[in-house]
Structure 1
Amino acid sequence: MPKRVKLDFGYLEFYENFVIAEINEGIHLVSEQNNILLSLCLKNFRNKPFGFISNRIYSYSIDPFIYLEAEKIENFVAIAIVVTTSAQRLSSRIEELFCKKPFQYFYNLETAKSWIRDRVNASGVTLD
């Protein structure tokens, strides 16, 4: 059973080696909120490699520069975006330009989970 965390701007569901984020409708995700997400991920995954899945069931926007901060986390290995519209797909393609970690968009959550698990398992990330 995943651990679900409610935030002012959405939800996080923590699994063994990835987290799924669902951000609320109309939010513009900026550095302050990203810092909360990153802090919770660091606390939950400690020294284990993990992936991040953004399940975009609602419409919201992101400051793409938040990816620069996320990349600094050594055990963060990949990000998957689950899109439902062509506009979300286009936004994710633009966001991908700001992220140096493996980054992929998908049309369903199960495929995104499978891809993230593969990236985490293949990452070879080990931290002391």
Structure 2
Amino acid sequence: MRFEDSKYFHEFKHVKVEFSFGNIYFFDKFILSEINEGVHFDWEKIEEVIAFAMDHYGPSFKIAYISNRVNSYSLDPHSWSRFQDELDHIVASAIVYYSYINFMNASIEKLFSPSSMKRCETLEEAMEWVQNLREFQRINQN
């Protein structure tokens, strides 16, 4: 289910940015992506999202990331570790999969992710999970 078709679209305050490769939604505690069909989501595209996120949140933000895999696209799984090594902004990630192949791809990506990553069957599951992360409770206590 696309985010805009979900009940959450009107429930959560967000900023939608339409990149050439997909739509990215910026919330208070997390970012949700819906990458376009057939795109190779490479480091150059990730840098575009990072640049907007830094402008939006400031240079030292901590957020969760939801990849809502409504379309089929490719991603280098090493991008997860590179992102964490260079920036360390993502406290946890959720991947919403809608097919067995997406589940298998998410399982491979999970192996490369240095932070907590959850594979979710629904957008609702992912959104509830990121909002209740212990990592945000620790950040808010500091």
Give the TM-score taking structure 2 as reference length: 0.81
User: How many matched pairs?
Assistant: 127
The match for 1:121 is 136
Given that 1:17 and 1:48 are in contact with CA atoms closer than 8 Å, whether structure 2 keeps it comes out as no
When structure 1 is superposed on structure 2, of 80-89 and 107-116 the one drifting more is: 107-116
Runs of 4+ with >6 A deviation:
none
The match for 1:55 is 68
Q: Which amino acid aligns with 1:61?
A: S
Q: Which runs of 5+ in 2 are unaligned?
A: 1-12
* Alpha-carbon separation, structure 2, partners of 1:123 and 1:97: 24
Q: Which has the higher helix share?
A: 2
Given that 1:48 and 1:126 are in contact with CA atoms closer than 8 Å, whether structure 2 keeps it comes out as no
* Alpha-carbon separation, structure 2, partners of 1:126 and 1:31: 33
Q: Highest relative contact order (Cα 8 Å, sep 6+), 1 or 2? A: 1
What's the secondary structure of 2:103's corresponding residue?
A: helix
Give the TM-score taking structure 1 as reference length: 0.89
* Alpha-carbon separation, structure 2, partners of 1:83 and 1:57: 8
Q: Which runs of 5+ in 1 are unaligned?
A: none
Shift of 1:37: 1.6
Q: Which amino acid aligns with 1:106?
A: C
Shift of 1:38: 1.9
The match for 2:114 is 100
Compared with structure 1, are the counterparts of its residues 23 and 35 closer, same or farther at alpha carbon in structure 2 (3 Å cutoff)?
same
How much identity, in percent, do the aligned residues show? 27
Shift of 1:41: 2.2
Given that 1:38 and 1:70 are in contact with CA atoms closer than 8 Å, whether structure 2 keeps it comes out as no
Given that 2:16 and 2:23 are in contact with CA atoms closer than 8 Å, whether structure 1 keeps it comes out as yes
Shift of 1:96: 0.9
Given that 1:27 and 1:61 are in contact with CA atoms closer than 8 Å, whether structure 2 keeps it comes out as yes
RMSD of aligned alpha carbons: 1.9
User: Larger Rg: 1 or 2?
Assistant: 2
